[in-house]
Structure 1
């Protein structure tokens, strides 16, 4: 280190290290163990589920870039000054580095989750909280250096030194001395109560915290505020004015947590790097698998079983709609619906073709993942489960729009005494492009209770527990009929997740009041999987995205008390919590109509 301005060289070195650490910094990240086997995941450059901004992991903290930019500005100024040969004869440069270093240390030590850095909060307009000023003030902002612990903790750094406080006290004393010489009726700047800049900062922080409460299960509460005075020492020899201790006592009396001194090196953890990446090949499904309505439909769909088109042209022809010669409004509306259905089914069969060229269609993907889970004879078999409501809705849909083969498969999909197991297998795989028993899917079992018990599997991964808590919270808020949703969402709801135009006369699933993009039966299905610690298989990708946004909101609001890995969970095999496949709609009737129209 240079003998000229050694303190500045030390600050420069520290700032450089912080800038490098900020470049690679990754706060605590919980990557949901979700496997995306949809066609979108096959496309190079497509957004990965675990890399999207709407998911649970936290890589882009608001304000982190601002902190990095501020560090870089100060670093550049220091380097320019120290590289100048004339700097050796100049006084030390004034720099913001001590403050930036202190903020970075608070980021490293902050309790997760970090919500934001260098964030300003509004003070309410009205009478000033400053006891010595009776005037009103306009709404102003109070800066908080780190908002941590999912918003429940505010951290603020103040780098004021003893000598600066002593200068304030001397100024206060001068006003007091001057007032003794003034006429009693004249104006006076002398304090009526003890006050200084640090106390004013404390009052502003408390006022802002009270004005910006966070919503917890117990109700709205202001964040807890910690003020770290990095360079203020009430026992500094020669600068130990008792009013420094009085200031610190006053801050604590306000309700602030006051911490003195800079953090020691032993307090500082190593900057967190990018979290452990788990490849899709390392994700393992559970032997018992939870199915939602979208997968029940996919299991019997003609798209899943019928031979694939030999070309893209054949794919377009398979569901082509006949041209309509009449132009009455009713016929025209029916024609538009047929065209929409045709396009959706064509898109899905082309997805199936792309899957075959990539890693195989739905059954091949399941076969590859589930085959290692098949137990030896006599052991507990691979099982598939679903809710009674999903079965009932599935049966109504198949009976209404399913083709002969789709209805035949649906008849034997669940436990029944009507068909022996070998007959059920034959009927299910009849006409399929896959051999009988390719996936040991039969029979699908039903949960006995309407809702899962409150006591879940004790050895579940944390993500299962967080998902269960969030699903229960969503369902506890109740449901609305689809007509009660906002106009924007209602317009989007004209089309199903599979791309079909909905029939307004058909029974529609109720939506949750917590989020109109989530249907109650979908949340109920996800709840069962989370409560039992089983992999949930779904083709409803949009609902998974919405649920995870609800999970993220619950974490930020502090409603998930145990939302971090426990014990040696990070070393355990990654269990798939949610497994996403492409939707496969019932398509046999549409294929038959298209084939008939082409022969006429």
Structure 2
């Protein structure tokens, strides 16, 4: 599909009633809506190709745009100068949606467009009318930076802000009166919207942090009326980033920015990745390296993992891209545990992979270079091993007591949740500031919950844990699987 460019509608910015009157025909607006939908289709196709379609919430936004297009199509045979058609154009939400999409194309790591968020912490929303009452939720136009930034796009004009101020009884001030700045309350719609977003953000955490808020105003100038500047200054004082017409980057055709706007959790990974034992086992398992024929002695978990691997290959689609060229490490405890499991129930090919993945110090693999290990690994896999996979995994000896003393006091509560091997893995990754890669979802969630329960300071954080989409067991051998 050829690249599309619907950016002109955004980069012109100021669209007053005259803009609508200048439309030669309702078809012009319909065409813009169709182009927007085609770009959304391109984005969704790209996400599907990258196995990321479930990571980005687009459905409600797409439905909204489709609805606007249907309304516009009702007037396809009417001239834009017709009063009814002109009113339809003026009242249409499409121009706002166009602003939202154009802004989204300038963002990085978009995970949602037009998504509702609660104003209250999870579990604290008043019970009555919780599902229906929108006074308990607010709409975020764009969720970017993999969830850590919320973007509010407003099509409000300077004239509307001044009108709201006058309606609320705020006295007009001279542009020369730089010392005068009257406190603006929530009766001003823009201020109320921003404060509502701040409330929702304060009830939401993404990797232990509240999302930051950015306000995009494509129809407001930086050097506009003094009263408008005062309102924007007070919004900035709330910790919100404000972008006026001059600050907004040019929006490009979506084909040029697909890798940028697609959510990429890997971009926030540390330069060194700490591997949990569950991931080490996934790297050596026969289940992760090609088709394994189902056997009658396979348990339900193995049978399920065979089906999952056939549908979505874990290493090529998740773990290897997550690793990239980064240095890979694991604790001594994780390495020992992995080798213990492999030695007991692993197949011969699983044992060979384990020896290539992590040196045991007493085998004939210690002299191999990274390239040689990858070459040997390739003989044991149906998949193409990435040449930049950083083998072997380095083994780290740790002093657990020293690590605990370096962490925040909440570690005393967190360690109670963890068996020894998990203490070594997750507390080490936490203290070293490294992303820990794991498939142990229950442990990761319990750690995060415990830190939230015992939070003392707003800046308190815990280990950065990335959960791979599914786990992989060793295939094992029949006699071991049949032991009581």
TM-score (norm 1): 0.42
2:82 to 68, 81, 88: 88
Change (3 A) 1:155 1:350: closer
Provide the C-alpha distance between the structure 2 equivalents of 1:259 and 1:24, rounded to a whole number of angstroms.
27
CA contact (8 A) 2:282 2:471 kept: no
CA contact (8 A) 2:25 2:79 kept: no
CA contact (8 A) 1:4 1:88 kept: no
Provide the C-alpha distance between the structure 2 equivalents of 1:124 and 1:350, rounded to a whole number of angstroms.
42
CA contact (8 A) 1:234 1:244 kept: no
| Mapping of residues 251-262 of structure 1, within 5 Å | 251-261=235-245
| Mapping of residues 12-411 of structure 1, within 5 Å | 12-26=30-44, 57-84=51-78, 88-90=82-84, 91-93=86-88, 94-112=91-109, 114-124=110-120, 140-173=136-169, 193-195=183-185, 196-215=188-207, 220-233=208-221, 235=223, 241-261=225-245, 266-271=250-255, 343-344=296-297, 388-393=336-341
Provide the C-alpha distance between the structure 2 equivalents of 1:7 and 1:248, rounded to a whole number of angstroms.
36
TM-score (norm 2): 0.50
Change (3 A) 1:586 1:18: same
SS of the residue corresponding to residue 92 of structure 2 reads coil
Q: How far did residue 260 of structure 1 move?
A: 1.0
SS of the residue corresponding to residue 83 of structure 1 reads coil
Equivalent residue number for residue 5 of structure 1: 23
Root-mean-square deviation (CA, aligned residues, Å) is: 6.4
Provide the C-alpha distance between the structure 2 equivalents of 1:546 and 1:394, rounded to a whole number of angstroms.
18
Equivalent residue number for residue 517 of structure 1: none
Provide the C-alpha distance between the structure 2 equivalents of 1:349 and 1:154, rounded to a whole number of angstroms.
41
Provide the C-alpha distance between the structure 2 equivalents of 1:444 and 1:166, rounded to a whole number of angstroms.
66
SS of the residue corresponding to residue 60 of structure 1 reads helix
Provide the C-alpha distance between the structure 2 equivalents of 1:265 and 1:62, rounded to a whole number of angstroms.
22
Provide the C-alpha distance between the structure 2 equivalents of 1:241 and 1:297, rounded to a whole number of angstroms.
66
Change (3 A) 1:262 1:102: farther
> In terms of Rg, which structure is larger?
1
Provide the C-alpha distance between the structure 1 equivalents of 2:285 and 2:219, rounded to a whole number of angstroms.
66
CA contact (8 A) 2:152 2:215 kept: yes
> Greater relative contact order: 1 or 2 (C-alpha under 8 angstroms, separation 6 or more)?
1
Q: How far did residue 222 of structure 1 move?
A: 2.3
CA contact (8 A) 1:297 1:394 kept: no
SS of the residue corresponding to residue 587 of structure 1 reads helix
Consecutive unaligned residues of structure 1, counting only runs of 5 or more, are 30-49, 126-136, 178-190, 277-289, 299-303, 316-342, 352-357, 359-385, 399-405, 415-438, 450-455, 479-483, 486-508, 515-519, 525-529, 532-542, 564-577, 592-600
Provide the C-alpha distance between the structure 1 equivalents of 2:344 and 2:439, rounded to a whole number of angstroms.
27
Structure 1 stretches of 4+ with a deviation exceeding 6 A read 262-265, 290-298, 346-351, 439-445, 456-463, 475-478, 557-561, 578-582, 588-591
SS of the residue corresponding to residue 184 of structure 2 reads coil
SS of the residue corresponding to residue 5 of structure 1 reads coil
Provide the C-alpha distance between the structure 2 equivalents of 1:242 and 1:472, rounded to a whole number of angstroms.
62
Consecutive unaligned residues of structure 2, counting only runs of 5 or more, are 1-19, 122-132, 173-180, 263-276, 287-291, 305-309, 311-333, 363-368, 375-384, 405-410, 412-416, 430-434, 449-460
CA contact (8 A) 1:231 1:262 kept: no
Provide the C-alpha distance between the structure 1 equivalents of 2:74 and 2:55, rounded to a whole number of angstroms.
30
Q: How far did residue 140 of structure 1 move?
A: 2.6
Change (3 A) 1:13 1:581: same
Q: How far did residue 229 of structure 1 move?
A: 1.1
